[in-house]
Amino acid sequence: MWQKEQIIAELQKRGKRITEQRKILLDVILEGNWTCCKEIYYQAVRQDPSIGIATVYRMVKTLEDIGAINRKNMYRINCEENCGFRGDCVLVLENKEKVSFSMEDFSHDHMTPNTLAFMETVVEQLEQIRKKYIEQGKQKEDWYDLIQLLPSSYNQMRTCSFNYETLINIYHARKAHKLAEWHEFCDWIKTLPYAKELIIAED
């Protein structure tokens, strides 16, 4: 594993500014075994509430670009016959650590206590359906139960490719959206080369 000093030196070599937020994120990433950027974000905002989720994604992408970390196949669904988890689906990280699904797989940071308690029952029910699906022959009705009960707050990693034409549409459609994540993304769009002239269309 790369050491912190090595990573900082490589970032500086590539002309990257070493901000306080980047130092915090670097410490968080190196200290834990994370399965997604949301986990890194939740830990980092405890130290600096001004850190946004887009900043976390950019930092992870930067570290991936320099070869310090590798997200490819970082986790996958595994149902080995003799995995020791009695047929359950589990996450298998690159270090072979197996992690059960939990509430951390869902965005719930803005939920009220009553809603959070209800969400926990939903996740428990999803687990029961998933176990039934795996253990009882992967019946189609169980599969439908899973995909139709699965909340939209389920966190999934995606790799997307955009051109500036696409980003123009996204920026102007989402810059005033009520979800904070869209504001973070639009803020990132504004940092792109020639974004002011080509995307934002400011003089």
pLDDT in tens, 90-108: 444 444 444 455 677 888 8
Q: Evaluate whether 52 touches 46 at the Cβ level (below 8 Å).
A: no
What is the average pLDDT score of the chain? 79
pLDDT digit string, tens, across residues 127-153 = 888 888 878 888 889 889 988 888 888
Strands (E), 31-111: 77-78, 90-92, 98-99
Cα(151)–Cα(191) distance, rounded to whole angstroms? 32
Q: What integer pLDDT is reported at residue 181 of this predicted model?
A: 84
* Close Cβ partners of 129 (under 8 Å, ≥ 6 residues apart): 142, 145, 146, 149
Strand, coil or helix: 119: helix
Asked whether the predicted pLDDT for residue 61 surpasses 90, the reply is: no
Overall average pLDDT of the 183-194 stretch: 92
Closest by alpha carbon to 123, among 135, 136, 137, 111? 111
3-state SS track over 131-192: HHHHHCCCCHHHHHHHHHHCCCCECCCCCCCCCHHHHHHHHHHHCCCCCHHHHHHHHHHCCC
Give the amino acid at 93. Answer: L
